[in-house]
A and B are shown apart, each in its own frame.
Chain A
Amino acid sequence: MNNLIEIRWHGRGGQGAKTASLLLADAAFNTGKYIQGFPEYGPERMGAPITAYNRISDKPITVHSNIYNPDYVVVVDDTLLESVDVTAGLKETGAIVINTTKEGEEVRKFLKGYTGNVYAIDARKISEEALGRYFPNTPMLAAIIKVAGIMSDEALLKDMEGSFKHKFAKKPEVIEGNMKALELALKQVKKI
């Protein structure tokens, strides 16, 4: 793991990209790292494109700007591929993780010649199977943690169980489903 990892999230309002970036910050914080998690606030409304960011480092982080050359990009909704320049500034040594059922060229044609690694995950299928509803952020969180090597699968599952118990204190019935979504996502994220 590099000393500083920068991640950019693309999602649509209501899909939980901001929450996922905050949960990622939490998870990395719990491994002893210095972290930043922040959304780019605009005129939010359900369905509008939104951006969120993470910085994760072994050293204190002083930069307070948006991220322009991320190591990783997470796309929570593949309909954004047509309208948002998701690979802008993305390092070729990094990777992009996309919630999609599309394969190979079908995805790559939107990535403007990006030559780095591309990962896909069907977060809808996982979420509907594990939770019975479409909340893509939990599978995407597991996928980026795995792809970026932020922590081991075991450490993630142990840590997130604690986070979910805290976050869903008032609706404990969703904890099991979220844990299952994490497990499935860790298994199913694949390089395309």
Chain B
Amino acid sequence: MGIRERLSGNEAVAVAMRQINPDVVAAFPITPSTEIPQYFSTFVANGQVDTEFVAVESEHSAMSACIGAEAAGSRAMTATSANGLSLMWEMIYIASSLRLPIILNLVNRAVSGPLNIHNDHSDAMGVRDAGWIMLFSENNQEAYDNTLMAHRIAEHPKVKLPLMVCQDGFITSHSIENIELLEDDKVKEFVGEYHPEHYLLNKKEPIAIGPLDLQAYLFEHKAQQAEAMNNAKEVIAEVAADFEKLTGRKYSFFEEYKLDDAEIAIVCMNSTAGTTKAVVDKLREQGVKAGLLKIRMFRPFPAEEVAKSLEHLKAVAVLDKSDSLNGMGGALFEDVTSGMYVSGKSVPTINYVYGIGGRDTKETDIEKVYTDLAEIAKSGKAENPYRYLGLRREGE
């Protein structure tokens, strides 16, 4: 079962989009996500999909076109990175507040300035409170699988929210790796058809979408968005269960790697989780009880579940590939520690900001984190919790 292939992360997403065959794709090229619309436009030209491909003049227009297409009642997808997402920003909020289940593949890259085309998570962190479901992917396989699950989650009547699938720019987007693809007909059957409840082109139900919404109603509409985000958790789990039946590949809110009996653990997202797994394996051979918690579902954030999963540990390090520049730590660190505190779990926890602007994260960097954690586990004290990993100091 499945098709053994080797594809880059960008190719994998483009193949998923071909298999999904959405009604509309609107995109503007930006490194390192450019290849996604590039490959997809080839599928359009070759007649392998019947998608309306809109080659817009900016990312603001790309998201606007997706909003128009979804509001009309069709399925729309796009892809972008970094400053492209920044330019979409106004429309990102409008997409979610109009409850339009647009699917965006975000190939994570540092937001300028100064100009940098390489990977970090500053683009994703800039929209973490924008009302989009956000799934992170360790490798090409997960980017492909998350994209295949995306529509079922986003379009579910209890959800109706846009969803972005994230993967690391260049590190996975441009690396050729093994992947197992599904057959086209199986994807088609799994994703299913989209029949929105309300849409602009329904002549039997003339409606307006996105009109003025002042003091009397906006609050209630925001509360509905929040409720939809809560509902998404259950739907994400249901869709993952169906996906596992189809592929044998299991997806949870997060992946626990050798965490059950671990004493020290790292929490991180995307490709660094893979490097961390290799380090965990090495440390386990040396008798060190190291583990990993890899976040897949970042929005909605599984705060309670994460807290429960980490409560038995002696020390935890949360790795943020984006600096919040707030004097207190990165976004993932705040979410994890806040979840722990609210759940009444107390584990010494530190934060590392790492990999900014494509700084390579080596196995030795991850080993250093576990060495620090072992010391904290021994002393029970997490001093200077806001740290850097891989930062060059003067003279280095």
Contacts and interface: CB of A to CB of B under 8 A. Distances in A.
A63 B271 CA distance: 8
A7 B41 CA distance: 34
A63 B170 contact: no
B interface, over-half SS = loop
Interface string B164-191: 0000101110111110000000000000
Given A41-B170, A63-B363, A64-B271, A35 B278 contact: no
B178 A65 contact: no
Interface in B245-275: 271-272, 274-275
Contacts of B363: 63, 65
Contact of A25 (B6, B170, B171, B174): B6
Nearest to A33: B178
A93 interface: no
B360 interface: yes
Given A25-B6, A62-B278, A63-B274, A38 B178 contact: no
Contact of B174 (A29, A34, A35, A38): A38
A50 B92 CA distance: 37
A64 B6 contact: no
B139 interface: yes
A60 to B, nearest CB: 7
B314 interface: no
B177 A61 contact: yes
B366 to A, nearest CB: 9
Nearest to A26: B6
Interface of B: 6, 117-118, 138-139, 168, 170-172, 174-178, 271-272, 274-275, 277-278, 360-363
B274 A62 contact: yes
B290 to A, nearest CB: 14
Interface string A8-29: 0000000000000010011001
Contacts, number: 58
Interface of A: 22, 25-26, 29, 34-39, 41, 60-66, 68
A92 to B, nearest CB: 20
Nearest to A41: B170
B177 A36 contact: yes
Contacts of A37: 175-176
A35 B278 CA distance: 16
A33 to B, nearest CB: 8
Contact of A62 (B118, B175, B277): B277
Nearest to B355: A65
Contacts of B271: 64
A64 B176 contact: no
Contacts of A36: 175-177
A38 B178 CA distance: 13
Given A25-B6, A26-B6, A41-B117, A64 B168 contact: yes
Nearest to B174: A38
A68 B278 contact: no
A174 B63 CA distance: 43
B48 to A, nearest CB: 17
Contacts of A35: 6, 176-178
Nearest to A62: B274
B277 A66 contact: no
